[in-house]
């Protein structure tokens, strides 16, 4: 299983350091084959010790240059960051990233051999239209994306389940993952959207779920650990 924690705009450099120290101490108890990823805010990236991978939530597809407010490869290299989250619905919705912008980032970081956690997910209005509409919407989010890339992890995160406390049902996750797996084949597929200690077992047991991408419930070491060790 893969357990990925996306801090979004939460935690500081100091609290991330504290969090990761506490996490690292307890990760010896996880299954050896399980993998843990943490995506802290950019101000908290650093070299940390522990059985987890540190990634970034975003970066600009450039080595360096005149892109005010952005960071590129040079800044990531300083901390040996080789993992990036792309396509998150919050960046698509609030930061205005188009499929074309995202596919440009994808191609750049693929070219740099980054491990890419690529997010897709539909809004409620599409889910309400039925399964066919959902799949059409999700598959369109693979436009311009090399889904055969060997360092790819896909995360299915229905937008209506993110930060709402209301996870998708077992049936919704199961049918969507089954359909996505037909296209993705061997690419690991995570579920995200209100995954938490109380529903992790049920989510993990769904065929086609290779792990979880967790927002709110990853913010406290205890609750994220409870999920990892469940």
Cβ–Cβ < 8 Å for 33, 60:
no
For residue 143, indicate whether it is catalytic.
Answer: no
Least Å from the CB of residue 74 to ligand 13P: 26
Asked if 6 interacts with ligand 13P (CB under 6 A), we say yes
The single residue among 162, 190, 209, 228 that binds ligand 13P, judged by CB under 6 A, is 162
- Count of residues near ligand 13P by CB under 6 A: 14
By beta-carbon proximity to ligand 13P, the closer residue of 24 and 219 is 219
The single residue among 58, 174, 176, 194 that binds ligand 13P, judged by CB under 6 A, is 194
The single residue among 40, 193, 208, 211 that binds ligand 13P, judged by CB under 6 A, is 193
- Candidates 46, 52, 2; CA nearest to 27 is 52
Least Å from the CB of residue 19 to ligand 13P: 16
Asked if 216 interacts with ligand 13P (CB under 6 A), we say yes
The whole-angstrom separation of Cα 137 and Cα 222 is: 36
The single residue among 40, 61, 211, 215 that binds ligand 13P, judged by CB under 6 A, is 215
For residue 47, indicate whether it is catalytic.
Answer: no
The whole-angstrom separation of Cα 154 and Cα 31 is: 22
Least Å from the CB of residue 196 to ligand 13P: 7
Q: Which of 88, 122, 172, 177 is the catalytic position?
A: 88
The single residue among 81, 195, 203, 209 that binds ligand 13P, judged by CB under 6 A, is 195
| Touching ligand 13P, residues 67-126 (CB under 6 A) | 88
Active-site residue set: 88, 157
Which residues in this chain contact ligand 13P in the complex, by CB under 6 A? 6, 88, 157, 162-163, 192-195, 213-217
């Amino acid at each position: 299983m893969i357990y990925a924690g996306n801090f979004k705009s939460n935690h500081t450099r100091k609290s991330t350091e504290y969090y990761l120290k506490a996490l690292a101490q307890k990760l010896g108890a996880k299954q050896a084959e399980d993998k843990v990823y943490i995506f802290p805010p950019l101000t908290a990236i650093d070299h940390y010790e522990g059985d987890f991978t540190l990634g970034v939530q975003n970066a600009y597809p450039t080595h360096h240059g005149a892109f005010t407010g952005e960071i590129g490869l040079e800044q990531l290299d300083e901390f040996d960051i080789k993992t990036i989250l792309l396509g998150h619905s919050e960046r698509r919705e609030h930061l205005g990233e188009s499929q074309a912008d995202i596919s440009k980032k994808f191609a750049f970081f693929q070219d740099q051999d980054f491990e890419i956690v690529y997010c897709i997910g539909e809004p409620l209005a599409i889910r309400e239209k039925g399964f066919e509409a959902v799949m059409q919407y999700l598959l369109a989010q693979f436009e311009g994306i090399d889904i055969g890339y060997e360092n790819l992890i896909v995360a299915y995160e229905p937008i209506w389940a993110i930060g709402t406390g209301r996870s998708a049902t077992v049936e919704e996750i199961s049918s969507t993952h089954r359909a996505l797996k037909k296209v993705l084949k061997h690419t690991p597929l995570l579920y995200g959207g209100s995954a938490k200690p109380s529903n992790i077992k049920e989510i993990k047991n769904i065929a086609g779920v290779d792990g979880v991408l967790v927002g709110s419930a990853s913010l406290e070491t205890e609750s994220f650990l409870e999920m990892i060790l469940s």
